[in-house]
A = this chain, B = another copy of it.
Amino acid sequence: MDTDRLLRELTDFLRIPSVSTNASHNADCRAAAEWVAGELRRLGCREVQFLASDTHPVVWGVGPEVPGAPTLLIYGHYDVQPPEPLDEWTTAPFQPTVRDGKLFARGAADDKGQVFCLLKAIQAPPGRPQLNFRFLIEGEEEYGSRVLFELLRREPERTRADAVLIADMAYVAPRWPAVYTTLRGLCYAEINVRTAKSDLHSGEFGGAAPNAHEELARLLGRLKTPDGKVHVPGFYAPVKRPSKAELATWKRLPFKEAEFLKHRVQAKALTGLKSYSVLERLWALPTFEIHGITGGFTGDGAKTVIPAEATAKVSLRLVPDQKLKVVERQLAAAVRRLAPKHVQASVKFLHGADPATVKVTHPAFKLLDQAFREVVGRGTVPARAGGSIPVVPVLGKGGAPVILTGIGLPDDRLHAPNEKLDLKQLWDGIKVFRRFYELLGT
């Protein structure tokens, strides 16, 4: 492999700050889409189109026709998470830098580096694999995939394939590749409280006027108990525990709680529902997280204002059998019920996704297993994922197996400062997917 050239090409892709959630990066998202389209053209695609391009376009590609060969749909995303807080990055998020065999950049693992891997595996010698490739590379995965959802509702035939391949995940541990059987869903919302018409002077009114931040803090405290239980009526009702067999598989994984706490969470203690194992908390239980709070005065220095309004960005991760629409109703009702009468509380839903379940029994999974085994020495282990890829349930609707895998490592720091991709994983990944394409095509 011409790793120098490949690294240069990936670096060009990573340098584009395609932060989909922030409108000031619209042109960057477009540039990242153009980068993907350019690659698809180089792969000899008969069709390369920008779909639903009024926002961040979905890049659609149809590879050269190979009569009689199976069709593989490759899904990925070119958008990335916001890089903030910037001061915690050792090198700038959009200036990809190799240190110690690792490539540091926002999007290195999630998902540009992995999309790159899937595409370069097609070009790898000795020649094009005997598959009918389809590509759906979107630009709103980090923002709920709304555009792609609508597109696939109108044009479900775009997902018609013999298999769907997604590389947006990681090994469960170094040298332990995985395929994923579930993804958590997501309900992203803003909880707003208003206590007065406008901000008030804390000297004039302090002691008698309601404070929106205080009411919000209290409300958030009521929505989740200190032991990690989400206090939303009905929320846990559909949640099933994993089977004994599945729990037994997890016990055999090289997962050490102390190591997870020390090297990955980097905190003083783990939290959450302590009567469940850590992997159960991460993979099989829903969550409630606060992401940020706005309102009042947050500038430098001091302003003695009683805020009239406060908003918390929150999200709930959902597990199989929970439904986004139901959880939205449950959360809105809980907020109404838990807010005091003198507080106007409301919930605005920003985006979300149902959880996904994937059966890993289709023969294609065996071929991926074999590819990993040949290249890295171990087959895939079935695991669950704590994260979400909103569009996965829709991609599987046509009946094709959705192969959810990836070449990242657990410490890649997705969504966090200093996101990275190990170069060894990248080069191995190109070989693994190349081999998978060959096996699937024969």
A219 to B369, CA, bound (A): 49
For chain A, what secondary structure do more than half of its interface residues adopt (helix, strand, loop), or is it mixed?
A: loop
A interface residues (Cβ-Cβ under 8 A, vs B): 21-23, 81-82, 84-85, 88, 142-144, 184, 186, 188, 195-211, 213-214, 216-218, 220-221, 224, 226, 228, 260, 264-273, 278, 281-282, 285-287, 289-308, 310, 312-313, 315, 317, 340-344, 350-351, 385-388, 410, 413-418
User: Separation in Å of the A306 CB from the closest CB of chain B?
Assistant: 6
For residue A198, which residues in chain B have a CB less than 8 angstroms away from its CB? 85, 88, 266, 416-418
Name the residue on B nearest A418 (C-beta): B198
Most buried by B among A81, A208, A220, A272: A208
Partner of A386, one of B184, B186, B203, B221: B203
In the complex, the answer to whether A267 meets B297 with C-beta atoms within 8 Å is: no
For residue A307, which residues in chain B have a CB less than 8 angstroms away from its CB? 290-292
For residue A22, which residues in chain B have a CB less than 8 angstroms away from its CB? 299-301
In the complex, the answer to whether A265 meets B298 with C-beta atoms within 8 Å is: no
28 residue pairs from A and B, CB less than 8 Å apart: A81-B304, A142-B303, A143-B301, A144-B302, A188-B304, A202-B315, A203-B317, A203-B386, A206-B287, A206-B386, A207-B286, A208-B278, A208-B281, A208-B282, A209-B267, A209-B270, A209-B271, A213-B312, A214-B224, A217-B220, A218-B226, A289-B306, A291-B297, A291-B303, A291-B307, A293-B295, A297-B313, A302-B351
For residue A208, which residues in chain B have a CB less than 8 angstroms away from its CB? 260, 265, 270-272, 278, 281-282
A266 to B208, CA, bound (A): 12
For residue A224, which residues in chain B have a CB less than 8 angstroms away from its CB? 214
User: Separation in Å of the A79 CB from the closest CB of chain B?
Assistant: 11
Per assembly, the copies of the chain total 2
A265 to B201, CA, bound (A): 10
A23 to B196, CA, bound (A): 30
A416 to B317, CA, bound (A): 38
User: Separation in Å of the A133 CB from the closest CB of chain B?
Assistant: 28
In the complex, the answer to whether B221 meets A217 with C-beta atoms within 8 Å is: yes
Most buried by B among A186, A300, A301, A344: A301
For residue A296, which residues in chain B have a CB less than 8 angstroms away from its CB? 290-293, 313
| Additional pairs, 5, CB under 8 Å, beyond known A82-B303, A210-B269, A291-B297 | A186-B203, A203-B385, A221-B221, A291-B306, A292-B295
User: Separation in Å of the A17 CB from the closest CB of chain B?
Assistant: 14
User: Separation in Å of the A230 CB from the closest CB of chain B?
Assistant: 10
A286 to B308, CA, bound (A): 20
Name the residue on B nearest A224 (C-beta): B214
In the complex, the answer to whether A302 meets B285 with C-beta atoms within 8 Å is: no
User: Separation in Å of the A274 CB from the closest CB of chain B?
Assistant: 10
For residue A265, which residues in chain B have a CB less than 8 angstroms away from its CB? 196, 200, 205, 208-209
For residue A228, which residues in chain B have a CB less than 8 angstroms away from its CB? 207
For residue A85, which residues in chain B have a CB less than 8 angstroms away from its CB? 198-199
User: Separation in Å of the A405 CB from the closest CB of chain B?
Assistant: 16
Name the residue on B nearest A289 (C-beta): B202
In the complex, the answer to whether A414 meets B291 with C-beta atoms within 8 Å is: no
A208 to B274, CA, bound (A): 9
For residue A197, which residues in chain B have a CB less than 8 angstroms away from its CB? 266-267
In the complex, the answer to whether A416 meets B221 with C-beta atoms within 8 Å is: no
User: Separation in Å of the A401 CB from the closest CB of chain B?
Assistant: 22
Q: A221-B217, A267-B342 are in contact. Are A184 and B203 (CB under 8 A)?
A: yes
User: Separation in Å of the A314 CB from the closest CB of chain B?
Assistant: 9
A416 to B291, CA, bound (A): 28
A226 to B341, CA, bound (A): 13
Partner of A290, one of B184, B217, B343, B351: B217
Q: A267-B210, A302-B144 are in contact. Are A414 and B201 (CB under 8 A)?
A: yes
Partner of A289, one of B264, B268, B304: B304
In the complex, the answer to whether B267 meets A195 with C-beta atoms within 8 Å is: yes
Partner of A291, one of B202, B226, B315: B202
Name the residue on B nearest A312 (C-beta): B213
A221 to B386, CA, bound (A): 29
A88 to B296, CA, bound (A): 13
